[in-house]
């Protein structure tokens, strides 16, 4: 969501960060993989061709890069990380701790986190309502 607003380097760094997040608890689930594919489509073919799909050796460098970006970029990054963790119905504590660490490093407040979470829930609710409408 809104990944197209990021510049080339931000998109590449985001892909690295999201790959670290889904790897924190093992291999990506099927649902996570589908969402990653949607995110790859959103960042664009040029970025996908450029990205190596291997975890960077230094996660701290990636986090430090985002610490220096604008609040808008930080919020877009965090929104998309939230989306990945909230896509599945079960709660993963490892991902939660990773996400909280990122939140703290990026200086995202609890209030902003709640606003971003509401966006993810609203999107999920809209998708579910659309499924019900087209199925009836």
- Confidence (pTM): 0.85
What's the mean per-residue pLDDT of the chain? Answer: 87
Would you say 1 and 86 are in contact if contact means Cβ atoms under 8 Å apart? Answer: no
- Sign of torsion, CA 49 20 67 81? positive
pLDDT of residue 69: 97
Q: Domains along the chain?
A: 3-135 (1.10.3680.10)
Take residue 75 and report the two structure tokens written for it.
Answer: 């919020």
Whether pLDDT at 81 is above 90: yes
């Amino acid at each position: 969501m809104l990944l197209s607003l990021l510049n080339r380097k931000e998109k590449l760094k985001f892909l690295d960060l999201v790959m670290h997040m889904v790897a924190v608890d093992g291999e990506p689930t099927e649902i996570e993989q589908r969402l990653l594919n949607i995110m790859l489509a959103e960042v664009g073919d040029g970025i996908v061709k450029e990205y190596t799909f291997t975890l960077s050796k230094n996660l701290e460098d990636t986090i430090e890069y985002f610490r220096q970006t604008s609040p808008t970029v930080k919020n877009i990054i965090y929104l998309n990380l939230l989306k990945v963790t909230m896509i599945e119905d079960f709660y993963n504590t490892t991902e939660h701790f990773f996400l909280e660490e990122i939140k703290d490093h990026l200086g995202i407040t609890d209030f902003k986190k709640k606003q971003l979470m509401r966006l993810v829930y609203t999107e999920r609710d809209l998708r579910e309502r659309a499924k019900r409408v087209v199925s009836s």
